[in-house]
């Protein structure tokens, strides 16, 4: 199959690589249909701090192509989004949907290290798929679903942790992709007004002025 491979600082190529195999009986293979580029990918592109040979990408959705025998919630043909971050799959944090704080220190993002190939590829292997490959509800477009793999939850978590109360004034500093998601999610909590702060003209161009 083809995959986007980091060859070194500022060097990326689409290469032919081995097809993924099931990462254990709890895993699945997902045929990738949509993927996105994250700021974390750009950090790797500019600095390649973890070395060459990484298959990039941790924002991907697709269709389940192969299912391990212990997977309970998914079937071949299911449309799924893949969690950008995974963990050990067995600790209480992972089971609660919080692999970013995996109690066994196994939290990792797809496409950031050579031994966890990412989703900028024709297919990817997802371990503990009952936890880390989530069915996409009917009526959700691909372009919407791919935002749920990483960037939209990041913005939502920022808004949630801000403890926004109805009638409050909210300030979002930085209107990059995560900032835009935080801006949209902040409105869900009923603030009286939201102020957006940035110094990049292109980012400010589409923001309504007070």
Identify the structural domains of the chain with CATH numbers, from first to last.
2-149 (3.90.180.10), 153-204 (3.40.50.720)
Distance, CA of 40 to CA of 109 (rounded, Å): 10
Give mean pLDDT, residues 142-169: 94
Q: Indicate if the pLDDT at residue 210 is higher than 60.
A: no
Task: Determine how β-strand 2-8 pairs with β-strand 11-16.
Answer: antiparallel
Contact (CB, 8 A) for 31 and 79: no
Q: Indicate if the pLDDT at residue 104 is higher than 90.
A: yes
Q: Indicate if the pLDDT at residue 206 is higher than 70.
A: no
Give percent of the chain with pLDDT exceeding 70: 96
Contacts of residue 194, defined as CB under 8 A and 6 or more positions apart, other chains included, come to: 169, 170, 171, 172, 183, 186, 187
Q: What's the token pair of residue 46?
A: 């500019």
Query: pTM to 2 decimals?
Result: 0.87
């Amino acid at each position: 199959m083809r995959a986007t491979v980091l060859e070194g600082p500022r060097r990326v190529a689409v290469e032919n690589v081995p097809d993924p195999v099931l990462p254990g009986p709890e895993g699945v293979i997902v045929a990738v249909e949509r993927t996105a580029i994250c700021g974390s990918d750009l950090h790797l592109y500019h600095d390649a701090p973890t070395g060459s040979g990484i298959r990039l990408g941790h924002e991907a959705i697709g269709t389940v192509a192969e299912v391990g025998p212990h997977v309970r919630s998914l079937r071949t043909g299911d449309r799924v989004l893949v969690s950008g971050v995974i963990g050990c799959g067995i600790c209480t944090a992972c089971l609660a949907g919080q692999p970013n704080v995996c109690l066994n220190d196994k939290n990792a993002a797809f496409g950031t290290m050579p031994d966890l190939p990412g989703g900028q590829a024709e297919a990817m292997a997802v371990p503990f798929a009952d936890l880390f490959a989530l069915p996409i509800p009917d009526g959700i477009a691909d372009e919407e679903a791919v935002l749920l793999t990483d960037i939209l939850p990041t913005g939502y978590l920022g808004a949630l942790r801000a403890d926004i109360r109805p009638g409050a004034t909210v300030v979002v500093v930085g209107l990059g992709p995560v900032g835009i998601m935080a801006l949209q999610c902040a409105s869900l909590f009923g603030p009286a007004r939201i102020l957006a702060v940035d110094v990049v003209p292109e980012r400010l161009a589409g923001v309504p002025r007070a």
